[in-house]
Amino acid sequence: MSHTQQLYINAACRIGNNQAWKDGQLFFEQAGVPGDEFMVGLYRKLNLQYPKWYKMDRLSKLGVLAAEIVLGMGVNLNCQPGEKAIVLANSHSSLDTDARFVSQMEEIPSPAVFVYTLPNIVSGEISIRHCFKGEQAFFVSSRPDMEFLYSYVRAIFADGRTRVCLMGWADILGEQFNATLYRVSADSDDSVHSMEFNTQNLYQYFYHEQGAVS
Amino acid sequence: MKAEQKTYVVANHVLSPMASGTAAHVDAMLLGETGVRFSHRQEYHGQGVCASLFSAEDWKELHTRFPGDWSPFELLLLGSLTEVLKQAPVDLADPRTLLLVASTKGNIGLLEPSTTDPEAVSSLSASASKVGRHFGYHAEPIVVSNACISGMTALLVAKRLMDSGLYDQAVVTGADCISPFIIAGFRSFQALSDEPCRPFDLNRKGINLGEAAASMVLAKLQVDGPGPAGTAGLVYLAAGSTSNDANHISGPSRTGEEMAQAIMAAMENAGLEPRDIGFIAAHGTATPYNDEMESKAFTQAALQNVPAFSLKAYFGHTLGAAGLLESAISVEALKRGLILASRGYEEHGVSMPVIIAKEHYQQPGMQHFLKTGSGFGGCNAALIFSKNN
């Protein structure tokens, strides 16, 4: 593989404002309810049947739901666990759970909460669910830096081992949440939704209300 | 033929309670020193903690050197970056320079139950930007927060982006502070040892935590033809890889298969065989499961006969800084042809017959070493550093 290899976004999803988009389609909506209730609604809509999900922290819950939309529902990636990479970023790290752990500290701190006080645990949960054993990295930036994420994902593919990469943004703090994930590979004919992997398309999908990947 | 462009380590620096400077640390280690000690501290509710912690005087000195409104995490970054940039005066305003900051928990010690705006007191990206501005950096620094492989991941990200042709040089820095938050968390896991830790030993009881900062300057040096004058003896980051266990979020793999996968990928990318590796600077946290997993991974990668050591009994587990710090110390050891003693190791305590160094000793002719690391979330990383003849 080279640094000039053509890569494609084969699938994308965006969860935020109590809506979940699958590629360009509104997949689920539950307006006017708290974020936690919306996520339970989406879990049911996805028919996930993954009881571990209820024990996760909110960032992992959000990320696992988003990953299910681009990796689950009958998708066959047709590659080895070590060939599947995951590169994620957010702005609030694990602060949502950090604040919860701090409030416990005066009493008996729980290891079940402490383990989630790291942003990359969501990558671990997605990796367990979808058997991703390849390259992985987690970044923190004030805003989505698609130029950087694009460059790094390209560099991972150029290393030669990666065939599929789940990449994007997974962020939550209180009632503010956004998960926008993209499934990237060198296959153009994998899906009718495939489009060129570039920063313009990444940004367009992230910010476009109607969904640009269609 | 295309001119050779390796990712050279042109400068590095370690700041810990033991010393300031990489060579100064190795000198102190050779004299039998360690930063790990048992102490009773008020902030840990009077409970004893065995760790490598900066003293009140150390913090006062950093505050004096860097006046202004800096958090302890930021002070550590400033302390290490200032020194590493004295060795290699890289222009951070140059768009061909990349600045990366690695940390597991950054400013988390500032978060209190009464904090109404957690982002305002503990944002990692805000701290990184503030430190970047201090040095005139041209953009927002890239922040890597990938549990205990943050430092190694940052080095690998820097190398890959430089290999892509986007940057000519990179400044990679990382730090973590130990706070009641961190102590309470590891204690809740019953992962802390109340005596100096003993990686790979039969009687190992867990982790010592540690505070530190470490920095490396990486640069693509234009070198025409083989064996040029001027680069002899220089160390470069040859290759690296990461992996995920996809097994458990807080416990390492029982088989070590995924760590072995990262090691073998790194060796393949570097074009090396097991016999080429001079030593392994292991993660070696001294928890029962981590050290056992690593011993299995080294064996699967056919590295069971390569001397290995853990530096945790000198520095404690410095979390997001660990990969950078231990890489820097190991680069210095490689330059000196030195295998470092795995402090705390007496009786073999892992199932595989890996070789753990009991004493410091000279091993002439070494050209490559392997650095490994693992963290919560099931993440693993392997880096290979090599020395020019």
For the stretch B309-350, pLDDT in tens is: 999 999 999 999 999 999 999 999 999 999 999 999 999 999
Residue A138 counted as domain residue = yes
Residue A46 counted as domain residue = yes
Instruction: Provide mean pLDDT across the span A75-99.
Output: 95
Active site residue B317: yes
Lowest model confidence (mean pLDDT) among A19-33, A161-175, B220-234:
B220-234
The confidence score (pLDDT) of residue A158 equals 96
- Active-site option among B13, B25, B50, B148: B148
Q: Do B105 and A154 touch (CB under 8 A)?
A: no
Q: CB-CB: which of A86, A124, A151 is closest to B164?
A: A151
Residue A66 counted as domain residue = yes
Q: Containing domain of residue A173, as a range?
A: 2-207
Contact indicator for B369, B278 with CB cutoff of 8 Å:
yes
Reply yes or no on whether the pLDDT at B63 is more than 70: yes
pTM of the entire structure? 0.96
A79 touches chain B (CB under 8 A): no
Q: What is the pLDDT of residues A118-136, one digit of tens each?
A: 999 999 999 999 999 999 9
pLDDT band for A210, please (50, 70, 90 cuts): very low
Reply yes or no on whether the pLDDT at A213 is more than 80: no
ipTM: 0.96
Chain A residues lying within 8 Å of B166, measured CB to CB: 151
For chain B, the average pLDDT equals: 95
Q: Do A120 and B145 touch (CB under 8 A)?
A: yes
The confidence score (pLDDT) of residue B6 equals 94
Contact indicator for B333, B26 with CB cutoff of 8 Å:
yes
Residue A128 counted as domain residue = yes
Q: How many domains does chain A have?
A: 1
Residue A214 counted as domain residue = no
The confidence score (pLDDT) of residue B108 equals 95
Instruction: Provide mean pLDDT across the span B353-381.
Output: 98
- Active-site option among B50, B177, B197, B283: B283
| 3-class SS of residue B148 | helix
Q: Do A92 and B108 touch (CB under 8 A)?
A: no
Q: Which of residues 246-305 of B touch A (CB under 8 A)?
A: 246-250, 258, 261, 265, 269
Chain A residue with minimum CA distance to B191: A111
Residue A212 counted as domain residue = no
DSSP-assigned beta bridge partners for residue B372: B382
Q: How far apart are CA A156 and CA B140, in angstroms?
A: 22
Write out the two tokens for B363: 């091993």
Candidates B276, B294, B213, B212; CA nearest to B239 is: B276
Other CB atoms within 10 A of residue B43 CB:
12
Q: Which amino acid is at A58?
A: R
Candidates B7, B9, B12, B10; CA nearest to B321 is: B12
CATH number (domain holding residue A8): 3.40.47.10
* Cβ-based burial of B122 (10 A; exposed 0-12, middle 13-18, buried ≥19): buried
Instruction: Provide mean pLDDT across the span A175-201.
Output: 89
Q: How far apart are CA A190 and CA A68, in angstroms?
A: 17
Q: How far apart are CA A98 and CA A92, in angstroms?
A: 10
**Domains by residue range for chain B, with CATH:** 4-218 (3.40.47.10), 238-387 (3.40.47.10)
Q: Do B185 and A109 touch (CB under 8 A)?
A: yes
Q: Nearest CA to CA, how far is A53 from chain B (Å)?
A: 13
Reply yes or no on whether the pLDDT at B374 is more than 60: yes
Residues contacting A207, CB < 8 A, separation 6+: none
Residue A213 counted as domain residue = no
Contact indicator for B356, B308 with CB cutoff of 8 Å:
yes
Beta strands in A111-163 (DSSP E): 136-140
pLDDT band for A4, please (50, 70, 90 cuts): confident
pLDDT band for B4, please (50, 70, 90 cuts): low
| Element counts in chain B: helices (H) and strands (E) | 11, 15
The confidence score (pLDDT) of residue B48 equals 86
pLDDT band for B41, please (50, 70, 90 cuts): confident
Write out the two tokens for A91: 């702005």
Q: What is the pLDDT of residues B120-130, one digit of tens each?
A: 888 999 999 99
